Chain A
Amino acid sequence: MTTYEKIKKLFVDSLGLNEEALKPEATLDSLGLDSLDRIEFMFVLEDEFKIKIPDREVKITTIQDMVDAIDRLIVEQHAV
């Protein structure tokens, strides 16, 4: 499963979002995520991908931004 597919599944399973709305270009705002949902979802992502998301990554606007950030963090943090 790609990072995008995994994220999509997490959105559906943990936040109950409609899969069809989860296009790469969809913004978190358009998905109806408020500030609390975002913090909670960041925790979900951290647990799933075994990464630590620094505060600056909160600037994520779209799902594609999220995919890119996670792929980058995996490389940075899982590289020994």
Chain B
Amino acid sequence: MRKVAVTGIGIVSPVGNTASEAFDNLMEGKSGVGRITADFAKQLSTTLAAEVSLNMSDHFSLKQLRHFDRTTQLALLASEQAWGDSGITLSDEERESSGVYIGTGLGGAVSIEEVSYQLFKKEALRISPLSVTKIMCNASASHISMRYGLRGPCLTFSTACSSSAIAIGEAYRLIKAGLADVIVAGGTESLITYASMKAWESLGVLALEDEDAPAASCKPFSKDRTGFVLGESSAMVFLEEMEKAKKRGATIYGEVVGYGSTADACHITGPSLDGQVRAIRQALAEASLGTDAIDYINAHGTATSVNDVIETQAIKTTFGGLAYSIPISSTKSMHGHLMGAAGAVEFVITLLSIRNKAIPPTAHLKIPDPECDLDYVPNIGRTGLNVRTAMTNSFAFGGTNAVLIVRKV
């Protein structure tokens, strides 16, 4: 039976622009949420976002900046980290069977907005020929494949908030099935734009601003939670067939052992207990693990009133009485809801919980909710823990659920 190792990780996020920086900040409960500084903020009722602070012209040439949407810029930075971290050298033949699996929700959202602005507001009669290639959802995957010459399957998954968890899960299964040995997998998203913020605002799922501490506005599992804060990010992992990774002496962050993928088939935004429970059970079954094997759960934990209750019920339904003794945290409290990148960022955090023997907290959880009565690691991270096996949940609008399980090697 072929196994799948994670041998490289990369993160560009509101809480740090390397995986270790992001994890350290999360452990300290540092939030990446702040007020949007762009002009359009004055037309929003919710002005919070979790943005990446990087000067892109330090990392890309003028030509590259014209060719890549911000989503792709983030993706290239994260994949560069993961690639470098893996320390791999691939032969030309090996590149032929190496793939790229990326998740993104909206693709080139910033570019869509720029083009719309030119057409509707500035009444431009034509727009840049680069518009299509910046906006298309598969642009990031394509640019990664081009940069590293990876000529196997190059796919993009778009299942809203679970996009990149799905991408990693599908990549894992492809390697396990013997159809590829190496895949760069992950997700990317950058949608802090006027139109996108307005659209999310209309749905009524965005956190109300905490007047005393805006950075603490997202409060998963807390009685006073009001929703999530939109964020932008990219995270990439280098997935590799285990024997190959061992043979070359690669650093192995963990082994992907289980993946669950289910659809709710009931409501376009509302979560389904049944869909979530089946996804968790599927992942456990694939990993041949019992309910006593999970040492940590990185929750979907969006801080909407409905999600946190249903997710709590799903964990209780699956794990029974054991649910009360599993540490669960929602790091979205600090890095925001990263949409298409969320699953990948949280997957990397889950891996690092094993490697660092540490569990980041659910920040801003001050008021217990009787309907959310599990151990959510409130406010203070835990260290010195032997995390052997950990799970991460991603439950999306549209009803696509993804659960990934990783194990210490």
Contact = CB atoms under 8 A, between A and B. Distances in A.
Q: Do A and B bind each other?
A: yes
Interface of A: 15-16, 32, 36-37, 39-40, 43
A36 B129 contact: yes
Nearest to A43: B126
A31 to B, nearest CB: 10
Contacts of B130: 36, 40
Interface in B108-130: 126, 128-130
A39 B62 CA distance: 17
Contacts of A43: 126, 128-129
Interface residues on B, range: 10 to 19
B247 interface: no
Contact of B62 (A15, A32, A36, A40): A15
B267 interface: no
A39 B63 contact: no
B202 interface: no
Nearest to B62: A16
Overall SS of chain A's interface: helix
Contacts of A15: 62-63, 66
B68 to A, nearest CB: 12
A39 B133 CA distance: 13
Nearest to A44: B128
Q: Considering residues B67, B129, B133, which has the most beta carbons from chain A within 10 angstroms of its beta carbon?
A: B129
Nearest to B67: A36
A40 B61 contact: no
Contacts of B66: 15, 40
A32 B61 CA distance: 13
A39 B126 CA distance: 12
A43 B126 CA distance: 9
Nearest to B61: A16
B129 A40 contact: yes
Interface in B38-76: 61-63, 66-67
Given A16-B63, A36-B67, A40-B130, 14 more contacts: A15-B62, A15-B63, A15-B66, A16-B61, A16-B62, A32-B63, A36-B129, A37-B63, A39-B129, A40-B66, A40-B128, A43-B126, A43-B128, A43-B129
Contacts of B62: 15-16
20 contacts: A15-B62, A15-B63, A15-B66, A16-B61, A16-B62, A16-B63, A32-B63, A36-B67, A36-B129, A36-B130, A36-B133, A37-B63, A39-B129, A40-B66, A40-B128, A40-B129, A40-B130, A43-B126, A43-B128, A43-B129
Nearest to A38: B129
Contacts of A37: 63
Closest 10 A/B residue pairs (Cβ): A16-B62, A39-B129, A40-B129, A36-B129, A16-B63, A40-B128, A36-B130, A15-B63, A16-B61, A40-B130
B73 to A, nearest CB: 15
Contacts of A32: 63
Q: Considering residues A15, A16, A39, which has the most beta carbons from chain B within 10 angstroms of its beta carbon?
A: A16
A34 to B, nearest CB: 9
A11 B62 CA distance: 11
